[in-house]
Amino acid sequence: MKKTGAQILCESLIKEGVEVIFGIPGGAVLPLYDTLPQYPQLRHILVRHEQGAAYAADGYARATHKAGVCLATSGPGATNLVTGIANAYMDSSPIIGITGQVARPFIGQDAFQEIDMTGITLPITKHNYLVTDTGELARIVKEAFYIAQTGRPGPVLIDIPKDVQQEEAEFVYPEKVALPGYKIFSQGHSIQVKRAARLINEAEKPVILAGRGVIISQAYDELKELAEKAQIPIVSTLLGIGSFPENHILNFGMLGIHGTAYANLAVQNADLLIAIGMRFDDRATANTSGFAPLAHIIHIDIDPAEIGKNVPVDTPIVGDVKNVLQAMNKEIERRDHLDWLSQLDQWRYEHPSLEIEENDKLLPQYVIRQIYEATQGDAIVVTGIGQNQMWAAQHFVYTKPDSFISSGGLGSMGFELPGAIGAKVGCPEKMVWCIAGDGGFQMTIQELATITQENLAVKIAIINNGYLGMIRQWQELFYKHRYVAAKLWNPDFVKIAEAYDIPGTRVKHREEVISAIQKAIDYPGPFLIDFVVEPEENVYPIVPPGESLSKTLEIPKPAIVDRY
């Protein structure tokens, strides 16, 4: 049956199980928007800036494990998506970007709102398409969803000229994809798996380093089985938070430049490091030349190009984490590692990295901890970037899968609010907390309108210290207190919320924290709390730039930890 390109797109999206599209209309997607009402099963959420659409699609994808879809017009609409697409690319999040393009006869003429979107997104997509033949649209959509969601996930962009949306073509949705150049290595090589299992069985000081790959692969049970069977302590990367319950006795928190001292000590003293679904990002490894100096490194990842990219690896296993761990767990022997675990507990006791100071000040760490206490961890936390992100990562206890969503690789301020919108749309039954910084919040503040228009009960906590806090911290510690462009004049966030028809309150004192959080939780809709926190509080521990994980600076008396 013949259908227009716009109809073909909508029907293909429905075939792929899409329920929500985040977008903004514009000239080059008007035929598509005109068609949308024919498909009421596609819920369109009107955002206020296309960057918000891409972040929301990303937040949706991370919360639901389904591809998120964002839609923008050609030219400025398309370029506004770019940061969000890059964010999804860096964190391996499956989003489908759909952009309008000028009609085919105008392509290459610098027509009104024409931009080479496939050219621009070449390095930040897993793959992208410019649709030049309406008859190929269905196949392209099928391929796009397949590529985005399989293997190492990532964003795929489809650029659709306006006349393709209007032109009719025969619509048959393909059953299969034919992509001879697309390789997925889902099963680990059995010899490597056996070798790794033997190394694990023989190790005296093993450490598991869990990354986002565990979450993408939903290998929570397999990871737990491995850790418990062989009694191996687990540390996680920032994006690996939520892969393993943080209240588990084998959990030693996050490693890295803001990792706990004991997580970093564990890695630096381990004789075997089992890195699972992570890519040795520099924020996790610090200076790689001094990273895990005593360890044999096993690296499990689905992307062969990650093996040996940043850190030399001794035993690589390319495969899907879930499959690899299932195979490996069969070979794992029960161990207790009593000496090693008691050593780690000793370090945890000696270096209480996450202890919150008892005083009258309104400390950001205390705010985060109280949000945890109030929710008992039963919430999705979506963070901004910088200090608020690190405190949210450190002081909330993540006990459930998919409960922490954050922009890791790109570190993109402004992700928090649209990301939380996406998570809430994807998981309406869950409580969603947006932990924002006062700086980043203003980068996508316009999405408060989206929240109100769609009545999304997102709870917003602004960690307001009146600074670009991480910048201020770095200028304090590494630029001799020279604060440049770090101080922020801020609007009255409670009044801003009120203007968007969102109730809110300001908290200036420690004793008001618990009741304000409870008020936000009890309110049956979106709610904003402006926490005016201690302005010059720093994130600790911190590994100074250029140093290895062995040089972890701690609060309150900065002491050098150098034990191995």
| Residues in contact with other proteins by the rule CB under 8 A | 118-119, 122-123, 126-127, 130, 147, 179-183, 185, 187-189, 191-192, 303-305, 307-309, 315-319
The minimum distance between CB 308 and other proteins, in angstroms, equals 6
Dump the DSSP string for 332-388: PPP---HHHHHHHHHHHHH--TTPPP-SSS--HHHHHHHHHHHHTT-SEEEE-SSHH
- What is the distance between the alpha carbons of residues 196 and 211, in angstroms, rounded to a whole number? 18
Contact criterion met (CB below 8 Å) for 323 and 218: no
Beta bridge partners of 560: 553
Tokens representing 132 are 């030049």
Kindly state the smallest distance separating residue 179's Cβ from other proteins, in Å. Answer: 6
User: With contact defined as beta carbons under 8 Å apart, do 533 and 464 qualify?
Assistant: yes
Closest by Cα among 306, 315, 302, 316 to 285: 306
**The token pair that represents 439 in the structure block:** 């700086």
At its nearest, how many Å lie between other proteins and the CB of residue 122? 5
Nearer to other proteins, 188 or 469 (CB): 188
162 catalytic per annotation:
yes
* Residue number with CB closer to other proteins (282 or 355): 282
Residues 6+ apart with CB under 8 A from 335: 201, 229, 230, 231
Going 184 to 186 to 190 to 193, the CA torsion angle's sign is: positive
The residue (of 180 and 546) whose beta carbon lies closer to other proteins is 180
The residues that bridge with 287 in the sheet, in sequence order, are none
Q: What is the 3-state secondary structure (H, E, C) of 50-108?
A: HHHHHHHHHHHHHHHCCCEEEEECCCHHHHHHHHHHHHHHHCCCCEEEEEEECCHHHCC
CA-to-CA distance for 543 and 539, rounded, in angstroms?
11
Q: What CA–CA distance (Å, rounded) separates 160 from 170?
A: 17
Nearer to other proteins, 92 or 370 (CB): 92
Shorter beta-carbon distance to other proteins: residue 17 or 180: 180
Contacts of 178 (CB under 8 A, 6+ apart): none
117 is catalytic: no
Annotation marks residue 291 as catalytic: no
Between 88 and 405, CB nearer to other proteins: 88
CB of 119 to other proteins, least distance (A): 7
Closer CB to other proteins, 229 or 309, in the complex: 309
Do 44 and 21 touch, CB atoms closer than 8 A?
yes
Judged by beta carbon, residue 252 or residue 291, the one nearer other proteins is 291
Rounded CA-CA distance 169/161 in Å is: 14
Please report how close the Cβ of residue 89 comes to other proteins at its closest, in angstroms.
Answer: 12
3-class SS shares of the chain: helix, strand, coil, % to 5: 40, 20, 40
Q: Which of 7, 11, 22, 50 does the annotation list as catalytic?
A: 50
Strand partners, 95: 68
Catalytic residue, chosen from 3, 126, 142, 162, is 162
Any catalytic annotation for residue 415?
A: no
CA distances for 531 relative to 66, 398, 459, 489, 499, angstroms: 33, 22, 13, 15, 19
State in angstroms the smallest separation of the CB of 387 from other proteins: 31
DSSP-derived letter for residue 37 is G
Neighbours of 404 (CB within 10 A): 26
Residues 117, 254, 413, 470: which is the catalytic one?
470
For residue 185, the minimal CB distance to other proteins (Å) is 5
Least gap, CB of 124 to other proteins (angstroms): 10
Encoded tokens for 68 = 């998120």
Tell me the closest approach of the beta carbon of residue 187 to other proteins, in angstroms: 6
Query: Of the two residues 164 and 265, which places its CB atom closer to other proteins in the complex?
Result: 164
Q: Which two tokens stand for residue 385?
A: 């970037």
Q: Known catalytic residue: 328? A: no
Q: How far is the CB of 128 from other proteins (least distance, A)?
A: 9
In whole angstroms, the minimum distance from the beta carbon of 212 to other proteins comes to 18
Give me the torsion for CA of 228, 232, 233, 238, rounded to 10°.
-90
Closest CB to other proteins among 259 and 319? 319
Nearer to other proteins, 312 or 545 (CB): 312
State the Cα angle at 211 between 208 and 215, rounded to 5°: 115
The answer to whether the beta carbons of residues 270 and 550 sit under 8 Å apart is: no
Enumerate the active-site residues: 50, 112-113, 162, 470
